[in-house]
Amino acid sequence: MAATVDGVRHRTVEANGVRLHVAELGPEGGAAPVVLLLHGFPDLWYAWRHQMAALAARGYRAVAPDLRGYGDSDAPPDASAYTTFHVVGDLVALIADLGQPQVFVVGHDWGAIVAWQLCLHRPDLVRALVNLSVVYQPRRPERSPLQSIKAACGEDHYMCRFQEPGVAEAEFARYDIKYAFYKTFGMRKPAPPILPKDKSFFDALDSDGTCPPWLSEEDISYYAEKFAKTGFTGGLNYYRCMELSWELSAPWTGAQIKVPTKFIVGDLDLTYNTPGVQDYIHKGGFKASVPNLEDVVVMEGVSHFINQEKPNEVSEHICEFFSKF
């Protein structure tokens, strides 16, 4: 198991009523600029091991928590305790613990969604943002997230399947946990997974079930060991709170994000190939919603788990952008 990454320190932070496991690399305390790295589903702090090393080598203090419900952090039992407001609250408390008035932020997948919301609600805490894979789209009052997904992709979109407690968990439990990660990390089809009623989540993925070349067996073993202990419910609860988060966010309908931002996505990413997203990114909608969007990078031949598939390139993009500030 690759639980040890050279020099990484591990600690627990009491944050917003939950205990967050936090991994850190780079200078301890002091005046070193902090970069907060936020993972997605099904992932862990470990997703950022390459970026942490690159940032630490440049004098940054890289801080990567397991978000609530994941890894060695607490997992509240109530499914409604996973709104973006809960998670942003965790991050505000974590930033206070770090002792810096502002931090740089990097997010991927659900981590990107949470990072957008952190910038929306507490822009005073964020110096600059690099987000991967998931764009910011302002709240629309006329249609909830799930209604929008169903309108674009139909009722069999994977996020619809994830809504019913226990259903996705039962599907995941039918497979060897290492195989589940081989399939998930190996997906390359440039489209969101569509799950007909007779297909499982893994049936819908195009990967062959072998270890992707950009991961090691030790990496897969680390994920398998952590998720064997926790299960997937914590991560799935983020999807189950999408509608509640939307309901609670009514005061921010149409709000822009003003934090300086760089966005990176792979051209094979399921998010980039969701209907309407490419036009939104490239025809002015994204820039209108994020007026200080300074750069959009589309990496050719790269799929969803971009920070692990192309670690050096992504690290260089992050460091280059943050060096401006």
What is the spatial distance between Cα 167 and Cα 240, in angstroms, rounded to a whole number? 12
Q: Are 154 and 135 in contact, with CB atoms under 8 Å apart?
A: no
Whether residue 21 lies in the annotated active site: no
Pairing of strands 261-266, 126-132: parallel
Q: Which of 43, 74, 109, 219 is catalytic?
A: 109
Whether residue 239 lies in the annotated active site: yes
Q: Which of 108, 157, 304, 317 is catalytic?
A: 304
Half-sphere exposure of 18 (CA within 13 A, CB side): 26
Paired tokens of 315: 């690290």
Backbone angles phi, psi at 167, to 5 degrees: -70, -55
Of 271, 256, 265, 262, the closest CA to residue 293 belongs to 262
Whether residue 208 lies in the annotated active site: no
Q: Which of 136, 182, 239, 272 is catalytic?
A: 239
Paired tokens of 154: 């139909």
Q: Are 100 and 230 in contact, with CB atoms under 8 Å apart?
A: no
Active-site residues, by number, are: 109, 239, 304
